[in-house]
């Protein structure tokens, strides 16, 4: 999933010579926590709500209200913004953006195109939305996790059983991480299976894979299965 389809746009920006007070007002009005800073249309910095809080708290204890308000009105965005801007390209995947944001410990980043022009902002909230979309959680169906031997067609065999019970796949995710050697962890989200037939279906699946757990998102019910395979 490319960032261009999940980033927040149009971009809300602020000029580097604007007052900090204006930045605070803009963030509150737009309900955002990240403001790209521009100078004559060119990206030159980034301003976060943490930058505002840190600047507002500076020397505040030694000033009265009028002095504090005067000081805030004189502080420019350029004085408190982060100049070393971490950007991402609009054709990166959301996973790449998440990896970078985690590594740099940032909550969001400006998005640029091939010409280096600012075209959006990707934030943690945008990544959460993408995650919900790709996993199919909003279908409010079932989430089944199991450990499967790493052989050709093994996942499709499980999928076919679920389909025989009227199930439709919302997402199929698989990983070798934390799986025993020769196995893979698989996570299916599906819907359409009658809840009266779930136990019947699970009985068949237990003969084909080591079940970890199942979550019924509509009924908020969770089943943990006992099995002999432990996570590596």
* Domains of the chain, earliest start first: 3-132 (3.10.580.10), 136-224 (3.30.70.260)
- State residue 55's pLDDT score: 77
pLDDT of residue 72 exceeding 90: no
List pLDDT tens digits, range 147-177.
999 999 999 999 999 999 999 999 999 999 9
Instruction: Identify whether the C-beta of residue 128 lies closer than 8 Å to the C-beta of residue 154.
Output: no
pLDDT band at 232 (very low <50, low <70, confident <90, very high): very low
pLDDT band at 120 (very low <50, low <70, confident <90, very high): very high
Helix (H, G, I), strand (E, B) or coil at 52: helix
- CB under 8 Å to 138, separation ≥6 — which residues? 132
Helix (H, G, I), strand (E, B) or coil at 82: strand
- State residue 112's pLDDT score: 96
List pLDDT tens digits, range 92-114.
999 999 999 999 999 999 999 99
Distances in whole angstroms, Cα of residue 71 to Cα of each of 66, 90, 136, 208: 9, 38, 49, 69
**144 φ, ψ (degrees, to nearest 5):** -120, 130
pLDDT band at 29 (very low <50, low <70, confident <90, very high): very high
Instruction: Identify whether the C-beta of residue 213 lies closer than 8 Å to the C-beta of residue 145.
Output: yes
Which run of H or of E encompasses 3?
none
């Amino acid at each position: 999933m490319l960032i261009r389809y999940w980033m927040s746009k149009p971009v809300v920006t602020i000029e580097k010579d604007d007052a900090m007070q204006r930045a605070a007002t803009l963030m509150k009005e737009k309900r955002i926590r990240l403001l790209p800073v521009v100078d004559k249309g060119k990206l030159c910095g980034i301003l976060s709500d943490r930058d505002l809080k840190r600047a507002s708290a500076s020397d505040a204890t030694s000033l009265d209200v009028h002095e504090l308000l005067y000081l805030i009105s004189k502080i420019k965005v350029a004085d408190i913004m982060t100049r070393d801007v971490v950007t991402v390209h609009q054709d990166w995947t959301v996973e790449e953006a998440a990896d970078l944001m985690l590594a740099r410990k940032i909550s969001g980043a400006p998005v640029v195109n091939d010409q280096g022009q600012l075209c959006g902002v990707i934030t943690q909230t945008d990544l959460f939305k993408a995650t919900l979309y790709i996993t199919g959680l909003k279908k409010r169906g079932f989430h089944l996790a199991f450990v499967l031997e790493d052989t050709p067609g093994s996942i499709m065999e499980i999928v076919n059983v679920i389909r025989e019970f009227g199930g439709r796949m919302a997402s199929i995710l698989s990983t070798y991480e934390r799986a025993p050697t020769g196995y893979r962890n698989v996570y299916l989200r599906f819907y359409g299976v009658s809840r009266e037939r779930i136990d019947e279906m699970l009985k068949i699946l237990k003969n084909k894979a080591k079940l970890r757990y199942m979550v019924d998102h509509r009924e908020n019910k969770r089943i943990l299965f006992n099995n002999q395979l432990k996570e590596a």
